[in-house]
Homo-oligomer: A and B are copies of this chain.
Amino acid sequence: MGLIVQKYGGSSVANTARLRAVAERVVRTRREGHQVVVVVSAQGDTTDELIRKAHELTPNPPRREMDMLLATGEQASIALLAIAIDCLGEPVVSLTGGQGGIYTDNVHTKARITRVRGDRILRELAAGKIVIVAGFQGITVEGEDYEITTLGRGGSDTTAVALAAALKADMCEIYTDVTGVFTADPRIVPQARKIPVISYGEMLEMASLGAVVLQPRSVEFGAVYNVPIHVRSSFSDEPGTIVKELTLMNGNGNGTETGEKEVLVTGVTHDTNVAKVVLVSVPDRPGVAARIFGALAAERINVDMIVQTTKAEQETDLLFTISRDDLPRASEVVRRVARELGAKDVLEDQTVAKVSIVGAGMVMNPGVAAAMFQALADCGINIQVISTSEIKVSCLIDESRVVEAVRAIHRRFLEENAPGPVRAAATGAAATTAAAAPGSARATASTAASSMATPTAAAGSTSADPQPGATGSAAGTW
C-alpha cells in the first residue's frame, strides 16, 4: 500500500475507449490497495486544435489569454476521466491545477511551478477518493487574482512529478504511447532497445535533446526530490524505463546492473524542432552576447547551441539555435537588438536538426565524441555546430540527413559488435569533450570545431553563456 502518481498523456485519453482503458488501470491500482493521484493531459490533439483556433485570429495572441484557452483542454480531460472512473464504481474527484494546489509564477505559457499545496488532494485521498488533477496548468496568487497559467509543452509530466514530490509518493508513473525510453527512436532505428534503468542526469540530457517521452523539467524535479519515475506504456503491462538516482559506480543501468559489459553511450537522440539564427557582422564588443541572450531570456526563449566566430577585426558572427516554435518571437527580438547593435544581417535557417549521444560513461572515454564524428563523416554528413557536456555530445546537421545520422551513430555504439569509441587519436573535438570539468554538475554548453567535419561557422568559436540568469541544463535548453 503506497501512494502512486500516474500521468497519462493525450494519446492515452484520446477517445472514449482509451479513457475507459485508463479508468480501468487506475481503478485496478486503487483496488490493489494504493492511493492514486492521476494527472492527465488534454485529449489527443486538443491543444493543437486550440492553438490553431487562436492562430486563426492572430499569429501572436496575448499569452495570458492563450493560457485561459489552453487550460480548457486538460480541464475537459479530467472531467471525462472522472466520469469514466465513476462508472466503475470508485469514488473519484477531478481537480483543476488551481484546485489541486499547483501554484506557479506569472510567466504565461511557460510558467514554472513555485509551490504545491497538497492539502486538498490529501483530504480527498483520506476520504477514499481517486484524485484526478489537470496537468500542464496552475494558478498564480497575486493579491486576490487567481490567474490561470500553463507550464509549456509536456508540462503535465512536470505536474505529475511535482505532485509526486510534494505528496511524497512512492512512485511516479508516466504513461505514454511508447513502452519506455529507447536507445534511439524506434521509428527510425528498428534495432533500438528499451533502456530498463537510466539516471536522472542521462534522462535529462535525453529529454533535452529530443527524446520526447519526458519533459526535461519533470526530470529535474525528480532528481531534486528523488522521485523514482517509471516511464511506461498505457497500452500494455510490460515494465518500462525507471528513471532514478544512479551513481557512476553502478553505471547507467543499461550495462553494469545486468552484469553486461559497461556501456559508454546510453542512447542516441535527435531533434528536428531546431532553428538556426545567425547575426552577421556584429561589432565585437564586450556585452554584445549578454544583450542578445538577455533579451531572448526576458522573452523566455530558450537558446541551445551558441557559436561566436571572430571573422574580421572588431566584427563577429554570432550563431545560435532555438526551437522552431520560438522562431517568430525570437526573430522579432533578435532583429530589434541587431539593429541597435549595428549588425549587418540576421539569417534564419529552419532546415537543421540536432543529433546527440548521451551516456554517463562518456566522461571517462574521450574517444566517444571522436567516434561519433567519424560515424557522421563516414556517411558524408557535414557537422555545422558541435556542443558537448560531460555526458553528451550534440551535432547540428542538415535536417535531410537526420535519419541516416541517427542510424549510423546507433550502429556505431549500440548494436551487436558495435565498434564503439575511438580509443586512440584524441582529436580536437574529443579533447574539447574531455576538457569539460567532470566534477561540475552542469557544464555550460561548450562549442568546438571538429577536425573531421567542417562546421560552417565554428572556426575560432568561443564559449558563451547561453542564457544569463536562467538555470539551465548542460545544453541550456531550459
Binding site for B on A (CB under 8 A): 16, 19-20, 50, 53-54, 56-58, 61-62, 64-66, 68-69, 71-73, 75-76, 78-80, 82-84, 86-87, 93-94, 96, 98-99, 120, 144-146, 148
Contacts and interface: CB of A to CB of B under 8 A. Distances in A.
B145 A57 contact: no
Nearest to A54: B83
Contact of A71 (B66, B75, B146): B75
Given A94-B68, A96-B148, A58 B83 contact: yes
Contacts of A68: 75, 78-79, 82, 94, 96
Nearest to A148: B96
A86 B61 contact: yes
A126 to B, nearest CB: 14
A82 to B, nearest CB: 4
A56 B56 CA distance: 30
Q: 9 smallest A-B Cβ distances: which pairs?
A: A69-B79, A72-B72, A68-B79, A61-B83, A16-B56, A65-B82, A65-B79, A72-B76, A58-B87
A50 B77 CA distance: 11
B53 A16 contact: yes
Nearest to A68: B79
A144 B96 CA distance: 14
A82 B94 contact: no
Nearest to A134: B68
A242 to B, nearest CB: 33
Contacts of A93: 64
Contacts of A99: 145-146
Contacts of A62: 82-83, 86
A368 B71 CA distance: 54
Given A54-B80, A68-B75, A72-B76, 14 more contacts: A16-B53, A16-B57, A53-B76, A58-B83, A61-B83, A62-B83, A65-B79, A65-B82, A65-B94, A66-B79, A66-B83, A68-B79, A69-B79, A96-B148
B78 A75 contact: no
